[in-house]
Amino acid sequence: MQGPAILLLCGWLVGCGYIGDPQPPALNIPLPILDLQAEQVGGKIKLRFTIPDLTTEQLPVTDVTVDLRGADQPIPVAARAPGMVEAETPVAAGWVGQEVAFMVRLQNAKGRYSAWSNQVVRRVAAPVATPGAFTAKPVQNGMALAWTGAGETWLVFRDGAQVASVAKPEYLDAAVEVGKSYRYQVQASVKAGEGVAVSERTAEVAVTHADTFPPAELVGLNVIASTNANELSWERSTETDLKHYRVWRDGQILADAVDVPAYTDRTAESGKKYSYAVSAVDAYGNESPKSQPVEITTP
């Protein structure tokens, strides 16, 4: 072979590169699920898990069938793509009082299965009833919640987040602000083996904390008469939201927006008899009952 031809052949071989051995087709077996969780809620078992993004060969998972089982009974799941999955199944009659094992695996489009997930074992209790007659109403020092129904403890939720666990069917939420609206729910809880079983949450009760509570009645009103003037004084209000005091004479407002627990009536006429009382007004316009009246005659 002549030199130019040899060079041409070598150049063609270098340009095409080396062709390796044929590779076997990918099996596309999904990685196993590792985060299966199971919780009894009322008469249902609720399950959560994550379908992995990758196969065992680190290829993307595209289409899978979920094989979820409880006590080896299939539990239908519609999800077919990677991501968080939530599923539920009614408590079977034969499960109550028994330990039931839950597992899940994935099947790809070619019928190949992943390994089984972590196994979750739960002792199934008789379904816990949802609390009844649930109410939430503003009171002077917070929001008062009350309900009925059986339970060992109750979980209290405000705006979807748990804020308390209590041993009585009542709760005072002192961490609220006047004028703000809140959404409340309650859930009953009982022991079930080493875990717990809970009821469904109550329907949400939405309520606004409005301050409609008047200050306490003022006490200690004292009136000292002098010529053409009467001096009033009384014990200071201890209300944290006090705005001002109001002075009454003969059933009519004599002075409004009094800042201190004292007032001088300079409009009193000599020789006339007057009946005085005082009240407290808070920042939301609520007024206390009038104090016990004091009668006096201006000299």
Residues 43 and 118 in one domain: yes
| 169: CB partners within 8 A, 6+ apart | 131, 146, 147, 148, 149, 151, 154
Say if 30 falls within a structural domain: no
CB 133 within 8 A of CB 203: no
Matching residue, tokens 């705006």: 159
Task: Give the end of a domain, one of 164, 186, 208.
Answer: 208
**pLDDT (tens place) for every residue of the chain, 299 residues total:** 454 444 444 444 444 555 556 656 778 899 999 999 999 999 999 999 999 999 999 999 989 999 999 999 999 999 999 999 999 999 998 999 899 999 999 999 999 999 999 999 998 989 999 999 999 999 988 999 999 998 899 999 999 999 999 999 999 999 999 999 999 999 999 887 777 889 999 999 999 999 999 999 999 999 999 888 999 999 999 998 999 999 999 999 999 999 999 999 999 999 999 999 999 999 999 999 999 999 999 98
pLDDT of residue 62: 87
- Tell which residue, 73, 58, 69, has the closest CA to residue 28: 58
Among 109, 100, 86, which residue's Cα sits nearest to residue 30?
109
CATH of the domain at 107: 2.60.40.10
Q: What pLDDT is recorded for position 22?
A: 61
The answer to the question of residue 140 being in a domain is yes
pLDDT of residue 115: 97
Residue 12's CB is within 10 A of a number of other CB atoms, namely 9
In a domain, 21, yes or no: no
Q: Are residues 238 and 173 in the same domain?
A: no
Both 107 and 137 in one domain: the answer is no
Q: Of 235, 249, 243, whose CA–CA distance to 282 is shortest?
A: 243
Q: Looking at the structure, do residues 240 and 270 belong to the same domain, yes or no?
A: yes
Give yes or no: residues 137 and 189 share one domain.
yes
Give the span between the Cα atoms of 62 and 110, in whole angstroms: 12
For residues 258 and 240, state if they share a domain: yes
Instruction: Convert 242-277 to b/e letters by CB count within 10 Å (16 or more is b).
Output: bbbbbbbbeeeebbeebeebebebeebeeeeebebb
Q: How many domains does the chain have?
A: 3
Token pair 């899940």 in the structure block, residue: 104
Q: What is the per-residue DSSP string for 4-24?
A: HHHHHHHHHHHHH----PPPP
Same domain, 106 and 78: yes
Residue 105 lies in a domain: yes
Q: Would residue 292 count as lying in a domain?
A: yes
Torsion of CA 166, 170, 171, 177, to 10 degrees: 160
What gap in Å lies between CA 165 and CA 196, rounded to an integer?
13
- Three-state DSSP state, 95: helix
pTM, entire model? 0.70
Domain-embedded: residue 92: yes
Identify the domain containing residue 106 by its residue range: 37-123
